[in-house]
Structures are given as C-alpha cells and as structure tokens.
C-alpha cells in the first residue's frame, strides 16, 4: 500500500477540507473541520449520500476513483485526515 508523508498530508488537509465544504455546501469554514473527528455520525455528521458527493468531487479534482465497493472505505472515511492521507497517496493530478 502506498503511504503519504505526514507533511504531505498536513499540506493537503486545508485543500481537502475546502473540497468537502464546497461539495456538500456546508455552512461552515473548512478550517472549522477537526481533521481527526469522524466524518460519519457524531463528528461531521455525514451520511452515505454525502460520502458519494465527496467521492465524486475527489475523483474530479485528484484523478482517481474512490469506489463504493472498496473494502477499505471504513478506514478511508474515518476522518478528514484519513481521507486526505488516502488522497495524498493516490492522486494523479
């Protein structure tokens, strides 16, 4: 599995946070998203439809597919940081 450095992830976090806010029309600033809070449930409160919107936005911006049937989705979507780590490791653009 490809991994990204912590510095690459930290550098990409604000961009991915803004992507999530824009894709979902959230009424909050990207900087307000706790990078380690859960995306589902008690954290950001996203549901499966929200995750599909985020996956579409990620594929358009970063040039790779986040697949609904990926066995790693639970880990990928754990938090903004985990999503960003996955993007940093796989992006082509």
- CATH code, domain with 15: 1.10.1200.10
Q: What one-character DSSP code corresponds to residue 1?
A: -
Give pTM, 2 decimals.
0.90
> How much of the chain is helix, strand and coil, in % rounded to 5?
55, 5, 40
Q: What is the DSSP letter of 31?
A: G
Cα separation of 40 and 55, whole Å?
Answer: 14
Residue 47 within any structural domain of the chain? yes
pLDDT given at position 2: 61
User: Which domain covers residue 12, as residue numbers?
Assistant: 6-90
pLDDT tens digit sequence for 2-49: 677 889 999 999 999 999 999 999 999 999 999 999 998 888 999 989
Residue 1: inside a domain, yes or no? no
* Domains identified in the chain, total number: 1
């Amino acid at each position: 599995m490809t991994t990204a450095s912590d510095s690459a992830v930290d550098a990409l976090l604000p961009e991915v946070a803004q992507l999530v806010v824009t894709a979902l029309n959230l009424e909050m600033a990207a900087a307000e998203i706790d990078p380690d809070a859960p995306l589902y449930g008690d954290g950001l409160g996203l549901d499966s439809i929200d995750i599909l919107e985020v996956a579409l936005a990620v594929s358009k911006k970063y040039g790779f597919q986040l697949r609904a049937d990926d066995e790693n989705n639970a880990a990928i979507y754990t938090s903004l940081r985990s999503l960003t780590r996955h993007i940093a490791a796989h992006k082509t653009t």
